Amino acid sequence: MTLEETTDQYRNRAYQWLSENLTLLEEELNEDDGGVAAYLNVDLETERRLLNETVVWHQKKLAAGFAAIDWPLEYGGQGLPSSYTQIFQEEEAKFVTPDVHEAFIVTTGMVAPTIRDFGSELLREKALKGILDGSDTCVQLLSEPDAGSDLASVATRAVRDGKEWIVNGQKVWSSAAHFSKWGFLLARSNPEVSKHKGLTIFLVPLDAEGIEIRPLKQMTGGSVFNEVFLTDTVISDDFRIGEEGQGWNIVMATLSHERAGTENWTAGGSYAQVRDLAFKTACNDSTLVRQKLAHLYIGDRLIQWNAQRAAALHKGGPPGADANIGKLLYGMQMDRVTDTVSHILGLGLVAEANEDFRWGEHVTGTPAYHIAGGTDEIQRNILGSRYLGLPNEPRP
């Protein structure tokens, strides 16, 4: 983009490029187009293929200047306002694109900006390019069996030994650890200070000695989550992100990027898919179903408008309150989808003989979205204390 290019001209140029590289969506979506599951339930080979399709498309956009749009020029971006990112996403939504794998979102949408904002120049040189273009997949090593919502209670220990750190501990709910190159690790480096102050972030190579990865079977049938065990794992201090003890502030910035990623909601069954399901099952004349569809449509628009507002207000740095609002809106919309398809299908939701059994994968996966990325209760606490000025909850 040149300085003389207006937003309308940018939108037209983006649409033209997209039309040369993708297929335009039909005006009326077919309910069978695209998946509706909240979480993947595929074999490892299929999962790798889906991720690779996402990465290839992302790299094509990156080469054309339509990815990392609001990143600084020196880190491979275009140096444009976030509103231009929103413009491109709006145009891209008009076309058929690969399904976005969760590991890709973590890698390019969360870890990449965190290294950009907090990593040393040496770390940026070593790791940022491969993470930004999606070729080096990253996994979050944050939650532990005794530290989920209370993330500051992590017990994984990192003990400094000269220019290295010796790490011992266990992480859980680590999506895509089974094929990631890097782990974004939160560890306790100083047990003598308050729990929020004694934390440090590392980028750990997952092929390092002492790391064991075990898959966790979900009730959806898939195994995208893992347990990760670290036993006397050695990490060079070059892979520390930010200053020692700065881990809590850094991880909060990282999670704000995750919540911001829900602003452009598409996964887990769209409004158009539920609408077409109602028509296919001849439920569209039901007053109750039409009311539920109206609520779904309103929720869909609210998510888009919140994303547009966030893009217009974003002035650099981690996202603000709109990211927390977007996270809550996303979870609420997932619940509306569950409620509507459950009403439409009835017992057919769990009858494997019914071709709509696939919606069962949506229903069993939806509850996780009220937990992943910080529970709904945490989002409301953050909005109340940080943005509305309400008093914090009492602490023991």
Just list the catalytic residues: 258
Beta bridge pairs of residue 233: 167
The two tokens of residue 188 are: 């306790």
Structure tokens at 122: 């040496």
Who's near 330: CB < 8 A, 6+ residues apart?
Answer: 262, 265, 303, 369
Q: Looking up tokens 């997949």, which residue turns up?
A: 137
CB 144 within 8 A of CB 181: no
| DSSP-assigned beta bridge partners for residue 202 | 185, 240
Contact 252, 321 (CB under 8 A): no
Measured over the CA atoms of residue 341, residue 345, residue 349 and residue 353, the dihedral's sign is negative
Contact assessment for residue 322 and residue 267, using Cβ atoms and an 8 Å cutoff: no
Q: Are 366 and 332 in contact (CB under 8 A)?
A: no
**DSSP secondary structure code for residue 147 in this structure:** B
Place of tokens 């650890």: 177
- Give long-range contacts, CB 8 A cutoff, 24+ apart: 157-163: 157/187, 157/188, 157/189, 157/191, 158/187, 158/188, 158/189, 158/200, 158/202, 158/235, 159/189, 160/189, 160/237, 160/244, 163/236, 163/237, 163/238
Four-point Cα dihedral 332, 339, 274, 308, nearest 10: -10
Angle between helices 271-280 and 287-313 (to 10 degrees): 170
Extract the tokens encoding 340. Answer: 């509507």
Rounded CA separation 209/259 (Å): 33
